[in-house]
Amino acid sequence: MKELRNLALLIVVAHWIVAIWHLFLAAKVLLGPNNQVSWLAITLISCGHLMVSIALWTLRARLSGAVSLIFFLAALGADVYEHLWHASANNIFMVATSRWTFVFDASVFALLTLEILGCFLGILFLGGWPRRDHSGAEKSARPSGHESLKQEYELDGSVIAYRPLMRRAPVFPA
């Protein structure tokens, strides 16, 4: 869990760096009077990333996963709306052509990628993808001779069941 938490913190820091860089690129791409970097925006973005980092570092896994998922879903929704859907000067399909256009578009896709990764890690912190439980009915229906085929490994406090691909043929009495 510690490695997953460190990876989530790394994604938050990378997202913060790319988001600040993206603001300065937007100032170079946009035409006036919107070509100034807002220090209020930089402050709010930095505070939001700092709060998510503190939540990831100090809170329980499920609660920090919920905070991370909400943060990255909000950022993903805002980016998709502002840069792909909404008809504005920030839209990557409508941005004025300059030498910074390609870099601006790359920063948009880098932000989207980091936000999708952040959402994925938030889901993993919340408990992961839903899995089928093979411990109940299937275990009681299995003959006791095949119990040796099931091996269990412990990874990060949870038991993972592993069954080899090669199975012995059942021996039937004559």
Element (H, E) at 71: helix 61-80
Cβ neighbours of residue 134 closer than 8 Å, sequence gap 6 or more: 161
The pTM for the full model equals 0.68
Question: Would you state the pLDDT for residue 50?
Answer: 95
Residue 165 lies in a domain: no
- Considering its fold, how many domains does the chain have in total? 1
**Full pLDDT tens readout for the chain, 174 residues:** 678 888 989 999 999 999 999 988 888 887 777 677 888 989 999 999 999 999 888 888 888 889 999 999 999 998 888 888 877 777 778 777 788 888 888 999 999 999 999 999 888 888 866 566 555 554 444 445 444 444 554 455 555 555 555 555 666 665
Position 148 in a domain = no
Residue 172 belongs to some domain of the structure: no
Q: Whole domain around residue 114: which residue ranges?
A: 2-126
What pLDDT is attached to residue 86?
76
